[in-house]
Amino acid sequence: ILNVEQSPQSLHVQEGDSTNFTCSFPSSNFYALHWYRWETAKSPEALFVMTLNGDEKKKGRISATLNTKEGYSYLYIKGSQPEDSATYLCAYLTTDSWGKFQFGAGTQVVVTP
Amino acid sequence: DTEVTQTPKHLVMGMTNKKSLKCEQHMGHRAMYWYKQKAKKPPELMFVYSYEKLSINESVPSRFSPECPNSSLLNLHLHALQPEDSALYLCASSQDPGPGVDGYTFGSGTRLTVV
């Protein structure tokens, strides 16, 4: 059984501050890691897909890094804004898990003005 | 159209009721998925349809019955549910079977309450 863990479960950030959080996963048979951003009452929205050790991806103020050897990915939000408030889900895929993402439970981010 | 549409958004049903959840996509995606999510937990895979055929059933109780009438539509029929089945039910689709590097397009979910 694969175990994907996200920490912290939730965090509160002041507007303008930067923050980061973690997705940890088993390092064997790695294929891809996806990050999704999920606002309340909306659909989860794809942020990044990461496939190579050392990958760094960026979209505006949000960026992510990947370390497949040690089994973790960091997501960073620079200069947090209230519209960044959402749950950030990571989903892990191995070479032998066709059709079966392993999701983390998400990190809920609340940005207060 | 780049969306997955789920209806209804909210559903309250009694333990003796029969109801259905509906999921629709018009992106030509060839795989569709049902997930169940309880609060503060990861989404759990229930069913996968690939080219309109059921390819994965994650040992889901028979009170949940999936149906894929055509390539754009996925239903989840509910009958004799228990209060512990109350959850958010998410539908997703992908271009090809298995999320791969393209990932999923998700619906916004149906919040189900069983009373």
Place of tokens 């503060």: B40
DSSP 3-state assignment of A84?
A: helix
Find residue B110's DSSP bridge partners: B89
Tokens of A6: 């996200």
Q: How many CA atoms lie within 13 A of B32 on its CB side?
A: 30
Question: Other C-beta atoms within 10 Å of B47: how many?
Answer: 23
Instruction: Choose the closest CB to B40 out of A9, A34, A51.
Output: A9
Distances (CA, A) of B87 to A37, B8, B30, B34, B90: 20, 14, 26, 12, 10
Residues of chain B with Cβ-Cβ distance to A104 below 8 Å are 42
| Residue B4: predicted pLDDT | 97
Instruction: Choose the closest CB to A99 out of B55, B90, B108.
Output: B55
Q: Is A78 exposed, middle or buried, given 0-12, 13-18 or 19+ CB atoms closer than 10 A?
A: middle
State the Cα torsion B61-B59-B48-A100 to the nearest 10°: 140
CB pair distance less than 8 Å for B106 and A44: yes
C-alpha span between B80 and B64 (Å, rounded): 9
CB pair distance less than 8 Å for B107 and A91: no
Place of tokens 């990932």: B103
Q: Say what percent of chain A tops pLDDT 90.
A: 88
On the question of pLDDT at A1 being above 50, the answer is no
Number of A–B residue contacts, CB under 8 Å = 61
| DSSP character string of B31-73 | EEEEEEE-TTS--EEEEEEETTEEEEE-S--TTEEEEEEETTE
On the question of pLDDT at A99 being above 70, the answer is no
C-alpha span between B91 and A26 (Å, rounded): 26
CB pair distance less than 8 Å for B106 and A32: no
pLDDT by residue (tens digit) across A59-84?
999 999 999 999 999 999 999 999 99
Dihedral sign from CA coordinates of A101, B52, B101, A30: positive
Average pLDDT over chain B reads 95
CB pair distance less than 8 Å for B3 and A51: no
Using the Cβ of B95 and the Cβ atoms of chain A, whether some distance falls under 8 Å is answered with no
Residues of chain B with Cβ-Cβ distance to A4 below 8 Å are 42
Distances (CA, A) of A107 to A35, A63, B14, B111, B114: 11, 15, 33, 20, 27
pLDDT by residue (tens digit) across B63-113?
999 999 999 999 999 999 999 999 999 999 999 887 788 889 999 999 999
| Residue B90: predicted pLDDT | 98
Residues of chain A with Cβ-Cβ distance to B105 below 8 Å are 43, 46
C-alpha span between B99 and B92 (Å, rounded): 10
